[in-house]
Amino acid sequence: MRIGLIGSGGREHAIAKILAKNRGRDSLYVYGSHLNPGIQKLAALSSVGSMQDVETMKDFFTGNKVELVVVGPEVPLIAGVSDRLRRQGIRVMGPTQAQAHLEGDKVFMRDLLRRRVQKGSPQWKEVRDVETARNFIREVGQVAVKPIGLTGGKGVSVMGVHFQTIDEALERVQTSLEQDGVVLLEERLIGEEFSRMAFVADGKIMGMPVAQDFKYAYDGDQGGMTGGMGAYSMADGSMPFLTKDDLQEADLILQLTVNAIEEETGAGYRGFLYGQFITTAHGVRVIEYNVRLGDPEAINMMALLDTDAPEFFGELADGQLRKENAAFLPQASVCKYLVPAAYPQSGSEKIVVNLKDEDVNQEGFSIIYASIIEKPQGLETLGARALAVVGIGTDAGNISAGIEALLGRIEPATLRHRKDIGDVQIIQKKVRKMESLRKGM
């Protein structure tokens, strides 16, 4: 079977590895925004183009007789690539264009939860003028300011973190109103965030192990918001700061959301669904939904997925989900992105990186390539998250320490990473934080 993959980031390299496992490179056809050197080694053929050019994607996959396409990023889903490919008779791991509004329109998502799910949302307000924003902030206190569309994980700003006063909040509201004419305000939630991603097929869901990603640029959650500096997961599939009830509640909200979006659109949801949740003193709340795998969390999950991915993904694309056909290794995982010094600021200098897979592999870890291309002089960064190092094992703390020891020897001086991802003391601190919040209810 010829398999297609859309995307060229770290998430897609991780997906490509699991798709090409035991099948060789003759079966994989990739359409991306750049030539990812890791994916290049796994693909029979690659094409470069816009992530919004649905017709060119269709031509590429039909011309190469691809039978199944896995969609990595959100942009082509929102552009309608799943609908277009299905009309050509190609099976697709990805929701419809209408269903992709769950991620592409935050107001649509909140309104859907209000009307059909009726749980899991904070207080929120769709705002079209500054005075309405002022009144909402006075009513609820601290808020998060969210542009309604795609921001790559970097557009949200939170009172008490990124700004302190109502006037500063209103300045950010005004900026969003000038750009989009509308902005979403939500009450600020205090707790610990976690990622619960799921496979979905026509109303049925299967949760993946819980992960926690690190959005801020620097250790200790300092600096600007990024697309995600890395993530970790635990061997038991949950998080030490989560209760059993927390996980059950998150899964219930996921299931109710799938039911709701299928009822709303009149079509079965087939693909991935990524719930970004937060556990608080008052229960679990939805921060946002993504209609694809998270990045970096996909790197963790694909490293743990222990199944014939093409066969399983094909079944999902056909609306079938048999949980016995998919399993995850009962191990922990840690992923750490290496980024240029200026990241997440745009216009980062292009850097040549000399880092060899074998230097990482011999230590029991793997490189996942992302915003980087191959040049005669070596690997050249493109300004965003360049590459990740990922490892699995019995204990997240030990994996994190192992990655630190490795990077201490071989990390290029021109790149940096967060050292605290998966760190034992940081995890214990999160547990104590939630214990304190729950006691203070």
The parent domain of residue 210 ranges over: 191-426
The answer to whether residue 141 sits within a structural domain is: yes
Q: Model confidence over 216-262: pLDDT tens digits? A: 999 999 988 899 999 999 999 999 999 999 999 999 999 999 999 99
The answer to whether residue 281 sits within a structural domain is: yes
Instruction: Tell me which H or E stretch contains 158.
Output: strand 157-158
91-93/143-146 β-pairing? unpaired
pLDDT band at 156 (very low <50, low <70, confident <90, very high): confident
The reply to whether 339 and 302 lie within a common domain is yes
DSSP codes, 358-372: HHHHTTT-EEEE-SE
The reply to whether 260 and 347 lie within a common domain is yes
The reply to whether 165 and 230 lie within a common domain is no
Q: What is the largest CA-CA distance in the chain?
A: 61
Q: Give the residue from 44, 75, 94 where a domain finishes.
A: 94
The reply to whether 195 and 183 lie within a common domain is no
Q: Give the residue from 187, 213, 235 where a domain finishes.
A: 187
Q: Model confidence over 382-422: pLDDT tens digits? A: 999 999 999 999 999 999 999 999 999 998 888 999 999 99
For CA atoms 196, 199, 205, 209, the dihedral sign is negative
Contact 251, 179 (CB under 8 A): no
pLDDT band at 154 (very low <50, low <70, confident <90, very high): low
The reply to whether 25 and 167 lie within a common domain is no
The reply to whether 264 and 325 lie within a common domain is yes
The reply to whether 67 and 16 lie within a common domain is yes
Instruction: Tell me which H or E stretch contains 400.
Output: helix 396-410
The answer to whether residue 118 sits within a structural domain is: no
Q: Model confidence over 275-307: pLDDT tens digits? A: 999 999 999 999 999 999 999 999 999 999 999
Return the exposure string of 300-332: e unless at least 16 CB atoms fall within 10 Å of the residue's CB, then b: bbbbbbeebbbebbbbbbeeebeeeebebeebb
The answer to whether residue 441 sits within a structural domain is: no
The reply to whether 228 and 280 lie within a common domain is yes
249: phi then psi, degrees, rounded to nearest 5: -65, -45
The answer to whether residue 275 sits within a structural domain is: yes
* Straight-line distance from the first to the last Cα atom of the chain, in angstroms, rounded to the nearest whole number: 55
Query: Which whole-number Å values give the CA distances from 212 to 194, 242, 285, 347, 430, in the listed order?
Result: 5, 11, 15, 28, 11
The reply to whether 342 and 382 lie within a common domain is yes
Q: Give the residue from 56, 78, 94 where a domain finishes.
A: 94
Q: For residue 398, what are the contacts with CB-CB under 8 A and spacing of at least 6? A: none
The reply to whether 149 and 63 lie within a common domain is no
The reply to whether 173 and 223 lie within a common domain is no
Number of domains in the chain: 3
The reply to whether 183 and 196 lie within a common domain is no
